[in-house]
Amino acid sequence: MARCHPQKPSAQKNSSTISLRATLSRSSSTLRPGQETFGIQVDGGPSPFGPGYHLVRIGIKGKEIATENRKPAHLVFVIDVSGSMNRENRLELVKRSVRILIDQLQPADTVGIVVYGTRGRVVLDPTSAEDKRAILSAIDSLTPEGSTNAEEGLLLGYEMADRSFERGAINRVILCSDGVANVGETRAGGILRSIEDYARKEINLSTFGFGMGNYNDVLMEQLADKGEGQYAACLLSRPARLSLTGCAGAI
């Protein structure tokens, strides 16, 4: 995007802004991949912030797969319940976000839950999505506790995902955390080495970051990259929209 130089508003600039928004709005509606894996749309217009500048937007949209047509999903949530997740109601936002995801699951899907504070522990073994009551009960039971042993939590989550692995299905670990590891292997390099082998076995990792202030988005992005998955940051003002269209989706 070109550099912007804010100036006092004028009727001409307001008119340019409206015109640009209308152009972008019209073109965004055409961003449909059709039969392709993804679609790309490029559009732009004169900048309202000064003569000689233009704004360019590049949109990428993946092919949408109907819920009934997607592969079975075996998901293991690894949820940070350490003391830092008590800040800004982070853990409660995670719980609300996971509930949204559960409503998108199909009978062939399974959900497992691992949490970590000072130590990692299993809260729910892989459970059919049809047993929604058991899954929601496990989610509701989570409370903040202890330090942040992300390494142990992730390893427990991967071990669970490995046990429930189904070739040809979606096999995914979903990490929900503020990314602040302070117990066990706390450096990115050590944790990254621990997940590479599982990525080669087609057990992928998506990471969803919650929080502000001491929130470590660098670590969360690195983990998702090595885990052959996606990373997204969640606004604290509303639940994350975890989507299963294609895999774990984005917030």
Domain residue limits, the chain: 11-62, 67-234
pLDDT score, position 246: 35
Supply φ then ψ for residue 73, to 5 degrees. Answer: -120, 125
Given this model, what pLDDT does residue 168 score?
Answer: 93
CA 50, chain centre distance (Å): 37
Res 15: pLDDT: 47
* CB atoms inside a 10 Å sphere around CB 19: 13
Instruction: Tell me how far apart the alpha carbons of residues 34 and 50 are, in angstroms, rounded to a whole number.
Output: 37
In tens digits, the chain (251 residues) has pLDDT values of 333 333 344 444 444 444 445 444 444 445 566 666 778 888 888 888 888 888 888 887 777 777 777 899 999 999 999 988 988 788 998 998 899 888 889 999 999 999 999 899 999 999 999 999 999 999 999 999 888 888 899 999 999 999 999 999 999 999 999 876 655 454 556 677 778 889 999 999 999 888 765 566 777 888 888 898 888 877 655 555 554 333 334 32
pLDDT at 129: 95
CATH class of 67-234: alpha beta
Q: Tell me the CA distances in angstroms from 162 to 75, 137, 204, one per residue in order.
A: 11, 24, 11
Query: In the structure encoding, which two tokens stand for residue 173, read together?
Result: 């670990």
Say what the pTM is: 0.72
